[in-house]
Amino acid sequence: MQFGPPLEGGQRQFLFTTVAGTDVRLAVASRGITWDDLHGQPARFTFSIASDLETYDAQLANIRGQVVGWFTGLALLLIATLALLLRWLLKPVRRLEGEIKEVEAGKREQLGEGWPRELAAVTTNLNALLEGERTRVKRYRDTLGNLAHSLKTPLAVMRQTLGSGAVPGKAALDSEIDRMSGIIEHQMKRAAASGGVLLGQAPVDVAPIVTDLRVALLKVYGNKDLLFGTDLAAGAQFIGDRADLTELLGNLLDNACKWAKSQVRIEVRIDSAADSRTALHMVIEDDGPGIAEADRARVLVRGGRADEATPGHGLGLAMVHDTVALYGGTMHIDASRLGGARFDLKLPGRAA
């Protein structure tokens, strides 16, 4: 088999070729040699050595496979090591995130201890902020309550003095004293509330409060023979102060019972898809005369009433509106399917 042209003496050649008519690949090394024959004449010879490349190709493929396998395994090992390292390094951050969510949900009052040095200052300051906020709200409530209470005595003296004799403008003064008394009553009730949602507050079960109010109101309005319906989601909880929820529901349910002809209904749901700040959904409605659309904004203002002839200070719905606003919730007044007013509230809450 010819492996190329003849070579000059000392010339070398290396090439790859294929056996004619087959797929066999060969590696060929050739060298030219010049010898003198018996007559002293130079003779040129070309020596070639050919080797089948099949074994070489198999070894090369095997080596490549091993290299790829080792590098793939090494890359996977490095990725797994980095993932475990990052998981270990970020574990305190995930713990901090979880504890903050628990504080927001009312499952704990403060963040725990034992934090890494990088997070210790952050958690300490957050705990101080939580404690400071609770202290501030308590001081606000105490101050407001003390102020309102201290004004009641001078007003009582003024009322007694006016009642002891004929005083010019007595009717106007009595009216102003009544208005001031109403303001004081309103502020004292607000002082009794928590002042809005606080991080770390324990959640309050809604069902027992509704049940207690229902029993009490059915006794108060026993002459009406009311049908008081309740539809309460199991485990519904309010994230806030019990007194706030009791005052809020008490005002709304008392207002509904006062104006209802024969039916009052309250529905409580937990919206799992909503944010925890508005997850508690409550609807209170009655079959009374309702509230005209033009009056719905006015009844939420302190002193505003839909029926001026009815006795009262017009503070109940205003207090409800203030409390809902303090908790970052929403309240809408609509027409009820029963024929009366419908109060739709969304407040911080969760399912137990």
Mean pLDDT of 193-214: 75
The pLDDT value given to residue 312 = 44
The pLDDT value given to residue 306 = 46
Amino acid at 201: Q
Does residue 227 sit in helix, strand or coil?
strand
Enumerate the domain spans of the chain: 12-52, 105-192, 203-351
The pLDDT value given to residue 53 = 87
Amino acid at 87: R
Mean pLDDT of 116-121: 85
Instruction: For the chain, give the percent of residues with pLDDT over 70.
Output: 87
156 or 314: which leads in pLDDT: 156
Lowest-pLDDT range of 25-34, 50-59, 258-267, 298-307: 298-307
CA–CA distance, 258 with 253 (Å, rounded to integer): 8
The pLDDT value given to residue 310 = 47
Question: CA nearest 265: which of 214, 220, 209, 311?
Answer: 214
The pLDDT value given to residue 99 = 87
Mean pLDDT of 124-142: 78
- Averaged confidence pLDDT in the chain: 82
Strand intervals (E) in the chain? 12-18, 25-36, 42-52, 203-205, 227-232, 236-239, 263-270, 280-286, 330-335, 341-347, 349-351
Cα dihedral: 319, 186, 205, 135 (round 10): 110
The pLDDT value given to residue 40 = 76
The pLDDT value given to residue 103 = 79
The pLDDT value given to residue 311 = 45
What is the distance between the terminal CA atoms of the chain, rounded to a whole angstrom?
A: 91
pLDDT band, residue 20 (cuts 50/70/90): confident
Using alpha carbons, list the distances in angstroms from residue 162 to 14, 152, 212: 129, 15, 41
**What number of other Cβ atoms are within 10 A of residue 29's Cβ?**
14
How do residues 247-259 score in pLDDT, each as one tens digit?
899 989 998 999 9
Residues, the chain: 352
Lowest-pLDDT range of 8-12, 120-124, 129-133: 129-133
pLDDT beyond 60 at 263: yes
How do residues 153-170 score in pLDDT, each as one tens digit?
777 777 777 766 666 667
The pLDDT value given to residue 166 = 63
Sign (positive/negative) of CA torsion 154, 155, 158, 160?
A: negative
The segment with the largest mean pLDDT, out of 33-42, 93-102, 184-193, is 93-102
**CATH fold label, 203-351:** Heat Shock Protein 90 (3.30.565)
149 or 203: which leads in pLDDT: 203
DSSP annotation of 36 reads E
How do residues 31-78 score in pLDDT, each as one tens digit?
988 888 777 788 888 888 888 888 888 899 999 999 999 999 999 999
Phi then psi for residue 345, to 5 deg, are -120, 145
pLDDT band, residue 190 (cuts 50/70/90): low
Sign (positive/negative) of CA torsion 144, 147, 150, 152?
A: negative
Written as one string, the DSSP assignment of 84-107 is HHHHHHHHHHHHHHHHHHHHHTTS
Amino acid at 292: A
The vertex-270 CA angle with 267 and 273, nearest 5°, equals 135
DSSP annotation of 224 reads G
CA–CA distance, 299 with 8 (Å, rounded to integer): 116
The pLDDT value given to residue 308 = 46
pLDDT beyond 70 at 186: no
pLDDT beyond 80 at 261: yes
Sign (positive/negative) of CA torsion 139, 141, 147, 153?
A: negative
